[in-house]
Amino acid sequence: MPGAPELPISLRDPDKARAYKQWTIDPCGSSTSQQPLGTHEFFEEVERYRYQDYAPWMPAVMGFGRFAGQRLLEVGCGLGTDLLQFARAGASVCGTDLTPRSVALARQRFALDNLPGQFLVCDSEALCFSDNSFDVVYANGVLHHLPHTEQAVAEIHRVLRSGGLAKVMLYHRHSLHYWLNLFFRLGILRGELRRKSMGDILRDYVEYSTSGARPLVKVYSRRQARRLFQGFRRCQVQVRQLGLPLPRPLQRALDWLLAPLLGWNIILTAQK
């Protein structure tokens, strides 16, 4: 596995440096494919796993088909897997990421499908766009890794046009995954809390890593998530994705029953 390149001077914050290292060495989602990185087979396997095995609810809840003809920005686009779904449905898309490697892979993914898209290396807390530039801003599993999440939300608000939508996923504090798996199984039964904080457990166990980067991971209650978006006119909150390590049939049955209350993902749809 290649090492991360030397950090840009702008990444003085240690949490941003860890995130840069983490997703340069392990581009988000790449661990779900055994195919050679960057090949058509690699991207197809990542996509199949994401929408068939991991989160079959995602296309409908995220509204991949709803934004044809609209200008859509994904903040933290990773491999471009979700952004591609919006583009296939007719949105005019732009993706940003902190890591040049992810931007290059997302650009390559679009080229394989011969679809247009703009891709830029950009800090989510200081977006490189003018005010009122987009109809939709999408950020799935990104803002809870930032040291200044409130600043990133302010930037999303700034670049959205009046009436535009933000679609954001954050990790849910009041979830079965947090309390049963992270707090009880790891923290209590395995004794992790005798030598670590919950913040340390989140850093160590939430994100797949071969890098040892231990990126920042935050969790939010529904109330805290709504408070982040209090500058928007309205905000709808949904909860999905149970996230427990269970056999797949049981996982799917419990997902249907419990995920809307105790899931690991908070999905916010906020209108400027």
Classify residue 195: in a domain, yes or no.
yes
Two tokens, residue 42: 């690699």
Question: In terms of C-beta density within 10 A (0-12 exposed, 13-18 middle, 19 or more buried), how is residue 112 classed?
Answer: middle
Instruction: Give the pLDDT band of residue 5 (cuts 50, 70, 90).
Output: very low
Instruction: Give the pLDDT band of residue 256 (cuts 50, 70, 90).
Output: confident
Q: How open is the CA angle 32-136-216, to the nearest 5 degrees?
A: 45
Per-residue model confidence (pLDDT) at position 1: 32
Classify residue 9: in a domain, yes or no.
no
Phi, psi of 254 (to 5 degrees): -70, -30
Per-residue model confidence (pLDDT) at position 9: 45
Is pLDDT above 50 for 8?
yes
Q: How far is 93 from 134, CA to CA, in rounded Å?
A: 9
Q: What is the pLDDT of residues 27-48, one digit of tens each?
A: 999 999 999 999 999 999 999 9
Q: Is 137 left (phi over 0), alpha (psi -120 to 50) or beta?
A: beta
3-class secondary structure for the chain? CCCCCCCCCCCCCHHHHHHHHHHHHCCCCHHHCCCCCCCHHHHHHHHHHHHHHHCCCHHHHHCCCCCCCCEEEEECCCCCHHHHHHHHCCCEEEEEECCHHHHHHHHHHHHHCCCCCEEEECCCCCCCCCCCCEEEEEEECCHHHCCCHHHHHHHHHHHEEEEEEEEEEEEECCCHHHHHHHHHHHHHHCCHHHCCCHHHHHHHHCCCCCCCCCCCCCCECHHHHHHHCCCCCEEEEEEECCCCCCCHHHHHHHHHHHHHHHCCEEEEEEEC
In which domain, by residue range, is 34 found?
Answer: 14-271
Classify residue 228: in a domain, yes or no.
yes
Average pLDDT over residues 134-161: 98
Classify residue 2: in a domain, yes or no.
no
The two most distant CA atoms of the chain are separated, in Å, by 53
Classify residue 7: in a domain, yes or no.
no
Nearest Cα to 33, choosing from 50, 19, 21, 20? 50
Higher pLDDT, 4 or 158: 158
Q: What is the pLDDT of residues 111-125, one digit of tens each?
A: 999 999 999 999 999
Is pLDDT above 90 for 10?
no
Is pLDDT above 60 for 6?
no
Torsion sign across C-alpha atoms 34, 41, 80, 242? negative
Classify residue 179: in a domain, yes or no.
yes
Q: What is the pLDDT of residues 47-103, one digit of tens each?
A: 999 999 899 999 999 999 999 999 999 999 999 999 999 999 999 999 999 999 999
Classify residue 3: in a domain, yes or no.
no
Classify residue 21: in a domain, yes or no.
yes
Q: How open is the CA angle 3-128-110, to the nearest 5 degrees?
A: 60
Average pLDDT over residues 147-158: 98
Average of per-residue pLDDT values in the chain: 94
Answer whether 115's CB lies under 8 Å from 128's CB.
Answer: no
pTM of the model as a whole: 0.94
Instruction: Give the pLDDT band of residue 4 (cuts 50, 70, 90).
Output: very low
Is pLDDT above 80 for 266?
yes
Q: How far is 225 from 189, CA to CA, in rounded Å?
A: 29
The total number of structural domains that make up the chain:
1
Q: Which one-letter amino acid corresponds to residue 267?
A: I
Q: The domain that contains 156 carries what CATH number?
A: 3.40.50.150
